[in-house]
Amino acid sequence: MRPIVGIGVLLIKDGKVLLGKRNKEPGKNTWSLPGGKLEFGETFEACAKREVKEETGLDIDDLEFISLSNDRFENQHCVTLGFKAGKFFGEPANREEEIKDWKWFDLNNLPNNLFLPSRKIIENYLSNRIYEVGK
């Protein structure tokens, strides 16, 4: 089995980050950034825009690459790229059954049960680093 390439997108508004409660594995009942899996022939940026639109209904722009992680779950191996959207338009809405609810969380008061790739993207962003070797 080969690794999957995933994309997570950081959306920040008034010091708060948008997170969705996951309804499926991996990471069921954890909080996750909007994002998903890269499709064949797709650019990273196109994937980020598509996944955010599919999951939240939001249109995003001005993407900045901010994080890279190498994550292993029980039955999956994911390489995850994190982006920060400089602009987004609209209000988040539940558009897919993978997410139960979207909420804004203060960056200094995040839920404990963050989805591993999302946690790494947020930690990298807050620490001003792209990748942490060995994690």
Examine the pLDDT at 134 and tell me if it is beyond 90: no
For residue 2, what are its two tokens? 């080969």
- Bond before 3 cis per omega within 30 degrees: no
pLDDT of residue 121: 96
Q: Where are the domains of the chain?
A: 4-127
| CA pair distance 34, 19, nearest whole angstrom | 7
User: Coil, helix or strand for 85?
Assistant: strand
Domain 4-127 top-level CATH class? alpha beta
- Hey, which bits of 51-135 come out as E strands? 59-72, 77-89, 99-106
Per-residue pLDDT tens digits for 63-119: 999 999 998 877 888 999 999 999 999 999 988 888 989 999 999 999 999 999 999
Per-residue pLDDT tens digits for 14-68: 999 999 999 988 889 999 999 999 999 999 999 999 999 999 999 999 999 999 9
User: Coil, helix or strand for 119?
Assistant: helix
| CA pair distance 33, 28, nearest whole angstrom | 13
| CA pair distance 44, 35, nearest whole angstrom | 11
- Cβ 9 vs Cβ 17: under 8 Å: no
| CA pair distance 86, 62, nearest whole angstrom | 5
Q: Which residues pair with 8 in a beta bridge?
A: 35, 82
